């Protein structure tokens, strides 16, 4: 790829492309794809379900192939997952973040309060009043197991919540009956 001029009339998009290509020049194939997947996820940029782009830095050619299921899952951002699952509470969002990190990103099987702060912000979810207390609260709700040093691991209850329980259908919630009402209605009969 030819370098564009560096003067004031240089196109900023072409300059950015050149910087990116120079940064990737020492990498090949899958390494380039991993870097691009990470950058897209980090910036919460949803990529289309189209082909996976694999640039060849030696020739400048670009090849495309159909994405695999794992490549498609890697591209889902925390914001996309939050919008799909629609968590209703900080406890549910904490479980969602842990699921995202372990199952979609594959970067960690445990979570800390700093992870919550980062991914609540990236996901566009309201931060809890006390971030350090959020994970113990979610553990008390049954979604996590404490593994020490402020780290928590999503347990089967939390996993099932994210995979099978969210989003919650408003019509599926059955209101609890008050015992007083039941007692009064029996007395009136």
| Claim to verify: residue 55 and residue 102 sit in the same structural domain | no
Q: What is the DSSP letter of 164?
A: I
Number of domains within the chain:
2
| Residue 187 in domain | no
pLDDT at 75: 58
pLDDT at 58: 53
pLDDT at 34: 79
The 3-state DSSP class for residue 50 equals: coil
Structural domain boundaries, residue 84 = 78-169
Strand 62-65 to strand 52-55: parallel, antiparallel, or no bridges (unpaired)?
antiparallel
- 159 closest CA partner among 72, 101, 78: 101
| Claim to verify: residue 62 and residue 111 sit in the same structural domain | no
| Claim to verify: residue 67 and residue 136 sit in the same structural domain | no
pLDDT at 71: 47
**Which runs of E-coded beta strand occur in 39-180?**
52-55, 62-65, 144-148, 151-154
Helix H segments across 25-130? 29-42, 69-74, 78-85, 90-99, 113-123
The tens-digit pLDDT sequence of the chain (189 residues) is 444 455 556 788 888 888 888 888 887 777 788 778 777 777 777 665 444 554 555 555 545 455 555 444 445 899 999 999 999 999 999 999 999 999 999 899 999 999 999 999 999 999 999 999 999 999 999 999 999 999 999 999 999 999 999 998 766 554 455 455 555 555 555
Q: What pTM was estimated for this model as a whole?
A: 0.55
| Residue 96 in domain | yes
């Amino acid at each position: 790829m030819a370098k564009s001029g560096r003067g004031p009339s240089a196109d900023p998009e072409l300059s950015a492309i050149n910087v990116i290509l120079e940064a990737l020049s020492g990498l090949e194939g899958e390494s380039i794809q991993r870097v691009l997947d990470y950058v897209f996820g980090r910036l919460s940029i949803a990529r289309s379900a189209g082909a996976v782009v694999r640039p060849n830095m030696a020739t400048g050619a670009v090849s495309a192939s159909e994405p695999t299921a794992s490549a498609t899952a890697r591209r889902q951002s925390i914001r996309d997952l939050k919008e799909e699952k629609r968590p209703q509470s900080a406890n549910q969002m904490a479980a969602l973040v842990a699921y995202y990190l372990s199952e979609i990103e594959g970067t960690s099987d445990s979570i800390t309060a700093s992870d919550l702060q980062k991914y609540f912000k990236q996901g566009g979810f309201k931060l809890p009043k006390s971030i350090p207390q959020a994970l113990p609260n979610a553990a008390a709700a049954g979604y996590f197991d404490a593994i020490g040093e402020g780290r928590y691991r999503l347990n089967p209850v939390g996993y099932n919540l994210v995979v099978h329980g969210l989003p919650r259908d408003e019509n599926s919630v059955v209101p609890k009956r008050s015992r007083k009402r039941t007692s009064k209605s029996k007395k009136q009969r």
